[in-house]
Amino acid sequence: MWGVYQVLLGVGVQGAVEHYLVMFLLLLLLGYGLRRGGVLTEETTAWLARLVSLAPLPALVLSALAKASFSATLFGVWGVAMLSVWLGMGLAWLIGTMLPLAAPTRVLLMVQGSISNTGFLGTPLIAALYNHEPNLVAAAVAYDMGVTSVMIHLVGARLLARAGASNGVADGANGLRRLAQMPVFWATALGYTLMLTGLRLPDPLLFTLERLGQTTTPLVLLAIGGMLHGRTLGARWKAVALIVGFKTLVMPLLMLGLLRMAALPPFAANALLLQSAMPTVMASAVYAAAFRTEPELASAVVVASTVVALALLPVWMGMR
């Protein structure tokens, strides 16, 4: 199987990319092993994920944007990404209606099948793979903060609330409040301000942010590995397979079709394709639990899609 991946990646990019992909797998397995061994518990895994969101991830985003150049292409990145998510939701609704699926399952297909884990996983992985291409990382951030964060907190949360068994309410004001509480939101705002004004961070500060940001990917993968423990597909394996298949196959293929028409620069196209190929956004399981919208199914989808998406990553990298 790895020989197939080597062919797909191409001779020119094999070496370093192979090392990163092996590292991703080993760190994921290490996190899983630590959880199985009792070193990582549910509480410490959640703490680790929280730590990443508070410091390393904002540092990674800010340092990448501080080195990037502003380009009107970023508006194109935002437009194509937003269009892909809305088209994905529409297609998922159509499939869910035709099968037919129960309303909560159909909503999970729409939300979890269309919205990627672009922030906690996608941006760190892309930054690791393309650490010398700040403009590509900037495009990945545009997808994450401009599309994923908006769609999951403003649209996805509302859909899950309406389909859930609880009486929870998800309105636009609450969604905006959640966005404003995210450190990475302010890191992104500051980063784009630096890009637009042409200001530079002092070299010692930029150096510190870069080194802190480099810890994001290992910590993220350890945390996700820890989350794999104790999760089972259960009796809903068909629904899990449907949603995971939609997320990891249909959405990247849909993005490839849009990129054929959009004719964006290679750095933007690479960022869009890889972000669309990321697993289901983790916040979807949090909202599903809060609103009692098939929380066990939602949790299983997050875990299964992470494993499948990482396994398929070399395939999508070979289609750039």
For residue 137, what are the contacts with CB-CB under 8 A and spacing of at least 6?
64, 65, 68, 123, 126, 127, 130, 271
| Rounded Cα–Cα distance for residues 177 and 317 (Å) | 35
Q: What percent of the chain lies above the pLDDT cut of 90? A: 60
| Rounded Cα–Cα distance for residues 117 and 121 (Å) | 6
pLDDT of residue 108: 97
Beta bridge partners of 17: none
- Model pLDDT for residues 257-271, shown as the tens digit of each residue: 999 999 899 999 999
pLDDT at 231 over 70: no
Query: Average of pLDDT values for 291-310?
Result: 90
Query: Average of pLDDT values for 124-131?
Result: 90
pLDDT of residue 11: 43
Name the residue with higher pLDDT: 67 or 4: 67
Q: Alpha carbon 84 to chain centroid distance? A: 14
User: Which of these, 182, 165, 29, lies nearest to 119 by C-alpha position?
Assistant: 182
Phi, psi torsion values for 319, nearest 5 degrees: -105, 15
- Model pLDDT for residues 115-124, shown as the tens digit of each residue: 999 998 999 9
Tell me the pLDDT band of 318, cut-offs 50, 70 and 90.
confident
pLDDT at 290 over 60: yes
* Helix runs in the chain, H state only: 2-9, 14-36, 42-54, 56-67, 73-98, 103-112, 123-129, 134-143, 149-150, 157-163, 172-180, 183-197, 203-213, 216-227, 237-245, 251-262, 266-276, 283-291, 295-317
Query: Average of pLDDT values for 155-166?
Result: 87
User: Which of these, 164, 302, 297, lies nearest to 234 by C-alpha position?
Assistant: 297
- Model pLDDT for residues 35-82, shown as the tens digit of each residue: 999 999 989 988 998 899 999 999 999 999 999 988 899 999 999 999
Mean residue pLDDT of the chain comes to: 88
User: Which of these, 191, 168, 163, lies nearest to 74 by C-alpha position?
Assistant: 191
pLDDT of residue 24: 86
Q: Could you count the other beta carbons within 10 Å of the beta carbon of residue 198?
A: 8
Dihedral sign for Cα atoms in the order 96, 290, 164, 149: negative
Query: Average of pLDDT values for 100-110?
Result: 95
pLDDT at 15 over 80: no
What angle (nearest 5°) sits at the alpha carbon of residue 315, between those of residues 233 and 222? 55
pLDDT of residue 160: 92
| Rounded Cα–Cα distance for residues 14 and 24 (Å) | 15
pLDDT of residue 13: 47
In this structure, which amino acid lies at residue 126? I
In the chain, the domains with their CATH numbers are 27-317 (1.20.1530.20)
Scanning the structure block, which residue is given the tokens 């959880």?
Answer: 35
